[in-house]
Structure 1
Amino acid sequence: MRKVGIVTDSTADLPKEYIEKYNIQVVPLKVLFGDEEFLDNVNLKPVEFYKKLTTSKFFPRTSQPSPSDFIDIYKKLGEETETIISIHLSSKLSGTYQSALIAKSNLEDLDIHVIDSKVPSMVLGMIVLEAARACEQGKDKEEILKLINYLINKIKVYFVVDTLEYLQKGGRIGKASAFLGNLLSVKPILSIGDGEVIPVEKIRGRSNAFKKMIELMKEDVSPGSPIKISVFDADSEKEAYKLIEMVKSEFNVTEVIKSTIGTVIGTYVGPGTVAITFYEE
């Protein structure tokens, strides 16, 4: 029996190869276009989703997993592991964390730790990945919980969106509402603070926005320190690779994970979004 098993939700946007390699259990959220219901990254992949997003007459809605979705996963994993650590999307952005807590309360015989990561997408994904790697290395639950807490407090993210329309329509704009107005070619740089979207700066043009993101990173990273990064995008892969090369030329990057923003997070940020998350090793 393994010591610890890791569970997350589909908004972590982890590439499939990492999920399979580290045996991470993923509970999918749902995306709805009118009466059509899809499971995030199961029967609706990002490529299909972004096409649908721009052509459908319906603005998509999202739905958290039910407690029973978590109960099914926890029961199965409970037969294989001594402890379950379940790490999820910010509770200020979704009720997913709450569903996991309800599931835990119905399984009092299992040792389950449910964690609000306070972040979305590959910011969450990087935390989950490092926790899963620690499991594979044979770390015990206290060591892994300590690592997760460290990463939640350490990891940073900046992202640039083409428009604030999707965040506003989806009700997830948070404090970035301060940037609403006539943006034209101005690109808002945003981040996540205390579990919600926060404004950072307004920059004219995508290329200048990337340069500003690198300046911001330099304020967060000690010179020469090794960093791990993930760059992830919503239907903007060419731009994502451009950002990766810019960052690699400026920092001591020891790992790069390229990912795609999935259907749930994509509902709120919209196509054209490019993000980078990073932390010092």
Structure 2
Amino acid sequence: MSTIKIVTDSTADIPNTLAEELGITVVPLNVIFSDEEVYEDGVTLTADRFYEYVKERNVIPSTSQPTPYQFEELYRSLSDEDTEIISIHLSSKLSGTYQAATIAKQALEMDSIHVIDSKRASYAIGIIVVEIAKYAKSGKSLEDCLSRLEELLNDTTVYFMVDTLEYLQKNGRIGKASALLGSMLKIKPILSLNEAGEVYSFEKARGQKKALNRILEVFDEQFGREPVHVGISHAVNEQYARDVLSLCQQRFNVQSDVITSIGAVIGAHVGPGTIAISITRAKNEVVE
């Protein structure tokens, strides 16, 4: 039986200890404050330090994806005659990371590399990657892993709330007038990702509490009491993340849960204070 290796990128926001435990290889994206100051997301710049930099300097950095060459080198290092690689990445509508990985696969001409556009971001990717890594670690076949991956791509939903609309406005997600009006009226947009992997405004609520209650209602309609995995990702908002997870545990049939920090790349686009809730259906046969 072939060995299955799992690759993702740093925007999946998987805690380092969990990635190491499951043997997940994480390719970092770049965070750019200036031509002379470029960091690797999660490697040379932690999430906490990133938000400190942003606060200290009052600047929103730019970001960039890994190069195809980086993926080529990684795929070569992971490959042998009995290895299959499943490489799951940030939505192609938000980054060129998936394209870079695809170019590397084509250059290597290796059918054993399977590059996947998750059409998601942050732990909405991570929750999928972790489940597939558990499948691989428990001895599931490539066919089983890819079949489960297809289910997860159909079953995983994420909603998120930002503390300020400034970051979305500066990154071109919403207009300046909308950002100003939303802030004045204390409107809390409930954001999500559509089937194409693009950010969109699902609904708007007056205040965070109402927005959270609406998100939980929507999840309840989708999953009911089915067994689920839950991930809460936050940008320097850990206590609220714990409060949100507690509500999810009370309301849903939670089989596993993770609280994780939103890293520098995603944080550059959503800003501090952001909370995201990712939920997917669980299957009982996986060894936890």
Q: TM-score range by the shorter chain?
A: over 0.9
Inter-partner Cα distance in structure 1 for 2:19 and 2:140: 19
Give how far 1:110 is off.
5.6
Partner residue in 2 for 1:182: 181
Instruction: Quickly say closer, same or farther: Cα 1:81–1:89, change in 2 above 3 A.
Output: farther
Inter-partner Cα distance in structure 1 for 2:34 and 2:86: 34
2:205 to 178, 203, 206: 203
* Aligned amino acid, residue 212 of structure 2: F
Partner residue in 1 for 2:276: 275
- Structure 1 position 232 matched with structure 2 position 228: no
Secondary structure of 1:142 counterpart? helix
Instruction: Quickly say closer, same or farther: Cα 1:109–1:153, change in 2 above 3 A.
Output: closer
Give the conservation status (yes or no) of the 8 Å contact 1:13–1:260.
Answer: yes
Partner residue in 2 for 1:18: 18
Partner residue in 2 for 1:33: 33
Instruction: Quickly say closer, same or farther: Cα 1:230–1:109, change in 2 above 3 A.
Output: closer
Give how far 1:93 is off.
0.2
Give unmatched runs, 5+ long, in structure 2.
283-288
Instruction: Quickly say closer, same or farther: Cα 1:83–1:200, change in 2 above 3 A.
Output: same
Instruction: Quickly say closer, same or farther: Cα 1:169–1:81, change in 2 above 3 A.
Output: farther
Give how far 1:80 is off.
7.8
Greater shift in the superposed pair: 162-171 or 252-261: 162-171
Give the conservation status (yes or no) of the 8 Å contact 1:78–1:110.
Answer: no
Runs in 1 of length 4+ with deviation above 3 angstroms? 176-181
Inter-partner Cα distance in structure 2 for 1:188 and 1:40: 27
- Structure 1 position 192 matched with structure 2 position 204: no
Give how far 1:210 is off.
1.5
* Aligned amino acid, residue 234 of structure 2: D
Secondary structure of 2:54 counterpart? helix
TM-score, structure 2 as length reference: 0.91
Instruction: Quickly say closer, same or farther: Cα 1:80–1:232, change in 2 above 3 A.
Output: farther
Inter-partner Cα distance in structure 2 for 1:178 and 1:127: 36
Give the conservation status (yes or no) of the 8 Å contact 1:231–1:274.
Answer: yes
Give how far 1:2 is off.
4.9
Over the aligned positions, Cα root-mean-square deviation in angstroms equals 1.9
Give the conservation status (yes or no) of the 8 Å contact 1:12–1:124.
Answer: yes
Partner residue in 1 for 2:159: 158
Instruction: Quickly say closer, same or farther: Cα 1:255–1:177, change in 2 above 3 A.
Output: farther
Deviations 1:36-86 (A, max 9, x none): 100001010011101111222542000000011111110111038521111
Secondary structure of 2:158 counterpart? strand
Deviations 1:135-166 (A, max 9, x none): 11111212111111110111001111112221
Secondary structure of 2:124 counterpart? helix
TM-score, structure 1 as length reference: 0.94
Give unmatched runs, 5+ long, in structure 1.
none
Identical-residue share of aligned pairs (%): 44
